[in-house]
Amino acid sequence: MPEISRFFGIVIRMHLSDHVPPHFHAHYGSTWAKVRLEPVGVLKSNLPPRALRLVVEWANLHERELLECWRLIRLNEAPLPIAPLE
């Protein structure tokens, strides 16, 4: 599962052969979230509230880039890295 970004201990990844709808996975320690793209929204999560807010904020800032990563993944190509939240 390629890593797309990392910030504040949160790791953002997309699975190479994942299913629709377009989404990504965020991991923070032993917690995780699955976040939909277009529009950005939480599908499932057990992330702490603060970490989840950071993930959603980051996703809203990078929605277009995330959709491009999803397109590349669907073509079995490596996704491009996306700048972390600062």
**Domain extent for 58:** 3-74
Q: Would you say residue 79 lies in a domain?
A: no
Overall number of domains in the chain: 1
Q: Would you say residue 82 lies in a domain?
A: no
Asked if omega into 48 is within 30° of 0 (cis), the reply is no
Q: Would you say residue 80 lies in a domain?
A: no
Residue for token digits 């970490």?
51
10 Å Cβ neighbour count for 40? 19
- 8-57 pLDDT, tens digit per residue, is 999 999 988 788 899 999 999 999 999 999 999 999 999 999 999 999 99
Distance (Å, whole) CA 20 – CA 61: 21
Q: Would you say residue 13 lies in a domain?
A: yes
- 46-84 pLDDT, tens digit per residue, is 999 999 999 999 999 999 999 999 999 999 999 999 999
